[in-house]
Chain A
Amino acid sequence: MEERMRKYKRRKSILRRLSESPKAQKVETVMLPVAFGILVVALWQGKILHRLFHTDTFVLPVPTKIFGIMGGITDKVIGNTIDTLLVAGIGLLLGSIIGYLVAVIASFLPNMGKGGLTIVGAFASIPIAALAPVMNNWTKDVSTEASFRSMISKILVVLLIAAANMGLNAYRGLTELKPYALDLMATYAASKRRIFVKLQLPNSLPYVFIALKVSVPASIMTAIVSEYFAEYITGIGRQIRENIVLAQYSIAWVYITVACMIGIVSYALLMVIQSLVLKRYR
């Protein structure tokens, strides 16, 4: 037994300490994805990706070519981007407001409200491809201007998706309160209005951002897809489609790149706004 009782004073090896140190971890977290990204772009530029997907540089142009072309048609790209952003932005804004109002009304109807929201939430699952043509038909008589009524129709589609998202989440924010919070308010003999302003409204703010995190990318996607069905030809999505039909793949890729960029930038913007608004919540 004595010889089994060997000393095992444990000092971690320098190497292990180094790789476990918080600093090294941080460097790894940044370097690894960057390395992966560079690898993919290199494979793409080196045309190895093309061999993998059995395609050619005509359908899938290399990155340098895409950016080269983008420089040549900047004005057109900006115009179409603005059109898409307007649809996505207005639809998102109006839809979120309407969704929030619906949630507020539902929270005041304790019994019937929840079932109503189940229905509202279901709207988010309706395929855009079915929704967009319906909205086109409904907005036929809104204006004689094709560009205007197309825009209204696209906004309505985005609005519906955004409202469904916001309604569900805002309702949760308005009703899932901290335990005893309502009891506390009752001991203050607070009116319904007071409870709403002092308790429910602030409580729902983080949930509003949960909804936005889903609906910001969703409304851009919806705007792009509803452009496919629109009467008037404009917007990033429509340009992707039209250029592919015309076999101008490199121009289509320019718009795809822009679409990805506005998706990422708008989300980053949302995160900044969230960190400012929700500063006091952590």
Chain B
Amino acid sequence: MEGLTSTSGEIVAREIGVTFQDNAGRDVQAITNINMAIKKGEFISLLGPSGCGKTTLLRCVADLQEPTEGELWVEGMTPKEARLQHKFGFVFQQPVLFDWRTVKKNVELPLEMMYQTKKQRGDRAEKMLELVGLSAFKDHYPRQLSGGMQQRVNIARAFGIKPDILLMDEPFSALDEFTKEKLHEDLLRIWRKTNKTVLFVTHNIQEAVFLSDRICVLSPHPGRLSAIVDVDLPRPRTLEMKESEHFNELVKIVKNSFEGGSFS
């Protein structure tokens, strides 16, 4: 549980709680008493079953939602300040691409909001598309791409603004196993190259173990942090590691760390 109470770090959460009102006007607690501190350059997963509030927590970090209790800092700023300064990129579960823009124009979108010149935008977008291996498709429209390719565009777009932090909300959950593995490798490669802090939400234990430095395990009703598991697999990670004894051990540890036992 190292770093749990530290106040320094890229992302710091202290006693975060979110309560919302349901349709009948009753208070429902989505998450409660979340403490965490994430270091610069770390790859952290928020892992848990649906209803554990992992997405809610991520949305609080991104200032898409306000915590009703507690304190939250992103690079020493409030989430809102961080958002206004384009400190993070957000990757949604759905690719959220714009039908009327070409692939390249989709990647350029956030850069337009940052008042970059046309040339700067174009160069940056092409570089990012090269990084995700989609240079040949830059003039295509999203509807012409497969789901995996669309998610690549999404990732290229998030990296395009040179954010310090990458927030990812189950980005690969809609993809098939083969595409997912390929994108795992791509994501890790780009992450190593750019040295971003990544906060990755998932409900897939293998995925969390394969990608992360540390896994924050959340349990539902109400959503709370039940364990933090260090993943000491060496880097760079390779697909063969998934076959290893140690990998399976880690998966087992994570599984057992859910409160109330198993993960089903």
Contacts and interface: CB of A to CB of B under 8 A. Distances in A.
Interface in B60-94: 66-71, 73, 76-78
B244 interface: no
B69 A9 contact: yes
A7 B71 contact: yes
Contact of B76 (A4, A9, A10, A11): A4
Interface string A1-43: 1001101111100000000011000000000000000000000
Contact of B78 (A1, A8, A22): A8
A interface secondary structure, majority: loop
B interface secondary structure, majority: loop
Contacts of B66: 10
A5 B23 contact: no
B69 A5 contact: no
B67 A5 contact: no
Contacts of A7: 71
Give the most central of A4, A8, A9, A10: most B CB within 10 Å.
Answer: A8
Interface in A158-191: none
Nearest to B70: A9
Interface residues of A, number: 10
B23 A22 contact: yes
A1 B71 contact: no
B7 interface: yes
A48 to B, nearest CB: 43
A5 B71 contact: yes
Interface residues of B, number: 13
A227 B84 CA distance: 63
B236 interface: no
A96 to B, nearest CB: 36
B189 to A, nearest CB: 33
Contacts of B78: 8
Given A10-B66, A10-B67, A10-B68, A5 B76 contact: yes
Nearest to B7: A5
Contacts of A4: 76-77
Contacts of B76: 1, 4-5
Contacts of A1: 76
A8 B14 CA distance: 11
B255 to A, nearest CB: 35
Contacts of B23: 22
A4 B81 CA distance: 11
Nearest to B69: A9
B158 to A, nearest CB: 26
B179 to A, nearest CB: 22
A7 B70 CA distance: 8
Contacts of B67: 10
Given A4-B76, A5-B7, A5-B76, 11 more contacts: A1-B76, A4-B77, A5-B71, A5-B73, A9-B69, A9-B70, A10-B66, A11-B68, A21-B25, A22-B23, A22-B25
12 contacts: A1-B76, A4-B76, A4-B77, A5-B71, A5-B73, A5-B76, A7-B71, A9-B70, A9-B71, A10-B66, A10-B67, A21-B25
